[in-house]
Amino acid sequence: MAECLGALDNASLRTAFAGQGAFLYLDRFLAPEVTAQLVRSAEALLPEVNRNYLPGHKQGGSVSRHTIDRLAPFIAQLYRSPALLAWLEQISGDKLQLSPADDPHAYALYYYTRAGDHIGWHYDTSYYDGRRYTVLLGVIDQSSCQLDYELHTRDPERPDEPGSVQIAPGGLVLFDGDKLRHRVTPAGANEMRVSLTFEYVTHATMRPWWRFISNMKDAVAYFGFRQVFRQWRQRGSHERGKGGGLRP
Ligand SMILES: [Fe+2]
């Protein structure tokens, strides 16, 4: 990772990121061997995909960080790469932290494998007490899906600027979740697209009500209740185990 990042012109990329209202796309970012390993992991995790359908907004599959931790630790390692984190700090100009252990979005895979899989226009809203940055990495793309986006929608001084990219395997998109309006257009028949997302924050704290809202959204729209609320369940069963009184 460090070798790959060392070849980039960070000063120009920082200027491009800031000029595009906290957005950057690089069609070649990961080393080919890293992309190849991600492809193997994405294929191996197919049986673990949790599918969701929210009429008018979203249809597709996802694999949460909890499943990745269990079955694809290479991805978790990549997420924590100090070289990657330092590079993201340089480009964003922010001091970044990893997302907390109970955030299923910290790193996750998104699968578009059936006709019509898509996600409608949205922001990656930060429920944290600070900014939330999204990294999207292209893993598999045998699809016609486009990441459509609009820059500057939250900047009254600048006109909205639409754009569209097809994220190549090994390519990167980086943006401030509260600033980039974006969507992924529907997959056609017999298409397959997998992208990997990493989420980094400037403050890893979240008020309890926002945590609840965020968890409900993740449970319904992405990973299912079992994944999202597993920590609470584990904590609960641990407490019951200690007390003993509530055990069946
Ligand atoms: Fe998003």
pLDDT tens per residue across span 71-88: 999 999 999 999 999 999
Distance CA 227, CA 58 (A): 19
Rounded Cα distance between 208 and 219, Å, is: 16
What pLDDT score does 241 carry?
Answer: 40
Distance CA 84, CA 63 (A): 22
**Taking 70 as the threshold, does the pLDDT of residue 101 lie above it?**
yes
Bridge partners of 193, per DSSP, are 112, 141
Q: Is the pLDDT of residue 132 over 50?
A: yes
pLDDT at 223 over 80: no
Task: For residues 86 and 108, give the distance between their C-alpha atoms in angstroms, rounded to a whole number.
Answer: 21
Cα 244 from chain centroid? 39
Distance, CA 206 to ligand 1 centroid (Å)? 19
pLDDT of 8-44, one tens digit each?
999 999 999 999 999 999 999 999 999 999 999 999 9
User: C-alpha distances in angstroms, 42 versus 36, 52, 75, 112, 148?
Assistant: 10, 18, 10, 12, 23
Residue 163 has what pLDDT? 98
Residue 206: what pLDDT?
77
Across 214-222, average pLDDT: 79
Q: Which of 21-25, 214-218, 225-229 has the highest mean pLDDT?
A: 21-25
Better-scored residue on pLDDT, 4 or 108: 108
What residues does the ion ligand 1 have nearby, CB within 5 Å?
124
- Residue 192 Cα, ligand 1 centroid: separation in angstroms? 18
* Distance of alpha carbon 23 from alpha carbon 179, whole angstroms: 9
Q: How far is the CA of 183 from the centre of ligand 1 (A)?
A: 7
| Span from the CA of 193 to the centroid of ligand 1 (angstroms) | 15
Select from 147, 138, 142, 146 the least CA-distant residue to 113. 142
Nearest to 162 by CA among 144, 181, 143: 181
CA of 243 from ligand 1 middle (Å) equals: 42
Q: Which fold has domain 2-237?
A: Jelly Rolls (2.60.120)
Whether the predicted pLDDT of 122 surpasses 60: yes
Query: How close is the Cα of 122 to the center of ligand 1, in Å?
Result: 6
Chain-centroid distance of CA 214 in Å reads 14
